[in-house]
Amino acid sequence: MNGTPKPPLVAVVVFPGSNDDGDAAHALQGLGAEARLVWHADTELPPGTGGVVLPGGFSYGDYLRCGAIARLTPVMDAVRALADDGAPVLGICNGFQILCESGLLPGVLRPNRQLQFVCEDTVVRVESTSTRFTAACGLGDELVIPVKHGEGSWYADDETVHELETSNRVVLRYATDVNGSVGAIAGVANGPGNVLGLMPHPEHAVDPLLGPTGGVPILRGLVDAARDRMPMLV
């Protein structure tokens, strides 16, 4: 060994129909992680995996319901086990839909209220800093991150929404009504704050040459959390 610390290993799961896996891996590499693409049929994540990204796309052609088939893939058992162990797991767009269908996150993503695919930069407000992904943000920080989805209208019943609102699990909220999401919610976390799902695409907002960079703090939070786990893995 040459003494240089090893970069944290983050797995990016590739489902049939994923299309943001490459961008996610590229963005993670740029933030100091080693990103490894992992096929959905694998039963294990690479040894030493410190975090996971479920990327955007249209897994299984959105058959039945978005994310409903993908959550049954072999790799998801390994993702669930890693999440239960406290590792950071980030679901972006279709990844968020998969996390909701798998029960790792509450709620469900429905077709956009305006009946249209929405593809634009959005302003999202940080509503909770008690997750690994927003720990470096300030409450109320506004991040500009693009969305591109037809089924991103998050829904849960009133009781669930109340519980999430009062336990700092509503993590990101659109500054405007983008798709009819209940409470304009753009991202929610699990109880411990190590699993986050969001419809906006942080991996598309990391390079000032290409536009806004609101995705950086969220992805950096993931990479930092993955790095923190490395001594535990030795």
Which residues are known to be catalytic? Answer: 93, 201, 203
Binding letters toward other proteins, positions 20-39, x by CB under 8 A: --------------------
Q: Give the DSSP H or E segment for 189.
A: strand 185-189
68 scored as a contact of other proteins (CB under 8 A): yes
Residue from the set 44, 85, 142, 157 that interacts with other proteins by CB under 8 A = 157
Residues near other proteins (CB under 8 A), total: 18
101 scored as a contact of other proteins (CB under 8 A): yes
Residue from the set 44, 61, 74, 113 that interacts with other proteins by CB under 8 A = 113
Residue from the set 39, 61, 81, 114 that interacts with other proteins by CB under 8 A = 114
Q: Distance between CA 56 and CA 34 in Å, rounded?
A: 19
115 scored as a contact of other proteins (CB under 8 A): yes
125 scored as a contact of other proteins (CB under 8 A): no
180 scored as a contact of other proteins (CB under 8 A): yes
Tokens 């509450």 identify what position?
106
Q: Give the DSSP H or E segment for 5.
A: none
195 scored as a contact of other proteins (CB under 8 A): no
Give the shortest CB-126-to-other proteins separation in angstroms.
Answer: 26
Q: Distance between CA 126 and CA 3 in Å, rounded?
A: 37
9, 14, 15, 20 alpha-carbon torsion, rounded to 10°? 110
Cβ contact 109:220 at 8 Å: no
What is the DSSP secondary structure assignment for residue 90, as one 8-state letter? E
Helical residues (DSSP H) of the chain, grouped into ranges = 21-30, 74-84, 94-101, 158-166, 216-228, 230-233
Instruction: By CB under 8 A, name the binding residues for other proteins.
Output: 64-65, 68, 72, 101, 107-108, 110-115, 153, 155-157, 180
